[in-house]
Amino acid sequence: MSTDPNPHGASLSIQDVAVEFDGHMALRDVTFEVDAGTLMGVVGPNGAGKSTLFNAIAGLLPVRRGKVTLHRVDQKSGELAYVPQQESVNWRFPVTATDVVMMGRCCRQGWFRRPGKKDRELVNACLGRVGLWDHRAALMTELSGGQRQRVFVARALAQEASVLLLDEAFSGVDVGAQEDLVEVLQTLRDEGRIVLLATHDLTNLAGRFDQVLCLNRHVCACGPPDQVFTSEVMEKLYGAHGVRLTMDGAGSKTT
Amino acid sequence: MIDFVVAPLEYGFMVRALIGSVLVGVMCPLVGAYVVTRNLAFLGDALAHAVLPGMVLGFMAGINPTIAAVPTGVAVAALVRTVSRRAGLSTDTSIGILFAAMFALGLVMLATAATIRIDMEDLLLGQILAMSPTGIYISLGITALVILGLFTLHHWLLFTSFDPVGSQIFNRRSNLMDYALLVMLALVIVIGIQAAGVILVMAMLVTPAATAYLLVRRFVPMMMAAAVMGAAAAVTGLYISYHFNLPAGPAMTLVASGIFVLVASFRRRAHA
């Protein structure tokens, strides 16, 4: 299908990065690498700097120290895609699922481009891939939280992105829909894309990710989920409450 | 009935007023669709007041006040964003400061320029019956420019309106779209002031678009419905004002408001 981009071969390297946000150091000493074809969960409590990290990767926030390197990603042509937090979207604006996916297509090449037949076919194909063909004419406000996230993923597909950043992707999304979303993301990963998903709670689905980055202003741990979700890391991440979390939920799932 | 419609058109000023009304009735609601869905009503109101010094300057220099209002509106629109960014204030606050300052400046200029006589009421309530051929040409030029802008930048305007953060990550310069929208807003306000005046131009900008928002689900049909209702309200208002000897701006406003009230009471909202 034409939605499949070339083998992406993109990689992301974050070295000793420090980022300032709102007058304080929101992130410091952040170092990790992500290879092509990786689905990575970025976990941490609210205020841990997950959005800041994404903004720094996208180049919206200046890096104070260190280096963010995106290999083989042409940001100018939209190869880096972003799925926004629910609260940063203007839901009053009346657009349909198709309209949103078309944004990814039309805005890719210049300011003045109008959609052609090819673009419309591609948009339809992208909606089909995330399982929303039947909802293509629905307004975004009529969709559930999980369906909205999948529309944004379809937009990323339409813009032929090789790196996807999903910010707080599970908020307002029920558990079943979280699984559907992760399933879609896994197929994108299998095609060689890098997918980073930030959430403050990865209790149920940790095992479905290749890598997990635990972030609390700095990297508490980074690696495969079964190595990362230890009580020691959880305590670093969430304080004493985190230990209980591991024993109740994540621990049993991921060990 | 035919006389009701045709008879007034024997007068040149009524033909110009009719053309002016249609342009205002179409253009203000087209941009107004963005105003309503992006919560820019206060900014629109402020822009309408803030062009006053430009218009007074135009009178003083013997230039058509509408031409003089265009750069003022565009400058104030750009200034709002810059002030709120630089000073770290909310957009609302920056608008409040600029709007009052510019309007006051206009009033002081009016008071000091004793040599020119400007009817305050015309400025505040509009003077569509006194529209000059030049005024019509300016309105036509602005109309062409704004329609071109809305059409060519359509997808970017949708993107930045719906998902501001996502669009900025997509393209670092997507905030240029916010400026483009503000400029178009300033331009249609300048056309609107001629018909409805500084105060009532809001009725053309917001009311038909809000009515359309209640009736229509998607954005583009909403723009179209708003333009049709805006033109209908402006033209009906103009005829009512002619036949019943009422001021045109308020008549148009009342027709637009009447349509809104009707739609709002008989129609469930199109948006959850």
Q: Which of B38, B152, B156 sits opposite A90 (nearest CB)?
A: B38
Cα–Cα dist A73/A57, whole Å = 12
Joined together, the tokens standing for residue A94 give 């009346």
| CB nearest to A142's CB, from B167, B222, B272 | B272
Backbone phi, psi, residue A10, to 5°: -80, 155
Cα–Cα distance, A129 to A156 (Å, whole number): 12
Burial class (CB in 10 A: 0-12, 13-18, 19+), A207: middle
How close B183 gets to chain A, by Cα (Å)? 17
Q: CB–CB of B162 and A141 under 8 A?
A: no
Which tokens sit at A57? 């990767």
The helix-helix angle for A145-158 and A117-129 (nearest 10°) equals 140
Tell me the pLDDT tens digit for each residue of B167-221.
888 888 888 888 899 889 989 998 898 888 888 899 999 999 999 999 999 999 9
Burial A5-33 (b: 16+ CB within 10 A, else e): eeebebbbebeebbbbeeeebbbbebebe
Neighbours of B270 (CB within 10 A): 15
Angle between helices B41-50 and B12-37 in degrees, nearest 10 = 140
**CB B38 to CB A113 under 8 A?**
no
Supply B255's token pair.
Answer: 């027709």
From the number of C-beta atoms within 10 Å of its C-beta (0-12, 13-18, 19+), residue A227 rates as: middle
**Best residue in B40, B159, B173, B177 to probe A by mutation, most A CBs within 10 Å?**
B159
List Cβ<8 Å contacts ≥24 apart for B258-262.
Answer: B259/B207, B259/B208, B259/B211, B259/B229, B259/B232, B259/B233, B260/B207, B260/B208, B260/B210, B260/B211
Q: Residue A59's pLDDT is what?
A: 86
Do B61 and B68 touch, CB atoms closer than 8 A?
A: yes
Q: A95 — contact with chain B (CB < 8 Å)?
A: yes
Q: Which of A86-90, B71-75, B115-119 has the highest mean pLDDT?
A: A86-90
Beta strand A163-166 with A194-199 is parallel
H/E element, A196: strand A194-199
| A161 contacts in chain B (CB < 8 Å) | none
Tokens 């309209």 correspond to A99
- A93 CB within 8 Å of a chain B CB: yes
Q: Residues in chain A with pLDDT < 50?
A: 1-6, 247-255
Average pLDDT over residues B65-93: 82
- Residue from B35, B40, B150, B155 whose CB has the most chain A CBs within 10 Å, to mutate: B155
Residue pair A19/A64 in contact (Cβ under 8 Å)? The answer is yes
pLDDT tens column, A128-179: 999 999 999 999 999 999 999 999 999 999 988 999 999 988 888 888 888 8
**Contact status, residue A67 vs residue A18, Cβ threshold 8 Å:** no
* Contact status, residue B208 vs residue B256, Cβ threshold 8 Å: yes
Cα(B33)–Cα(B209) distance, rounded to whole angstroms? 5
Mean of pLDDT over chain B? 88
Nearest neighbour of A93 by CB, restricted to B161, B168, B217: B161
Tell me how close the Cα of A79 comes to any Cα of chain B, in angstroms. Answer: 9
The answer to whether the CB of A229 falls within 8 A of the CB of A255 is: yes
| Distance of residue A95 Cα from the nearest chain B Cα, in angstroms | 6
- Integer-rounded Cα Rg, in Å, for chain A is 18
Average pLDDT score over chain A: 84
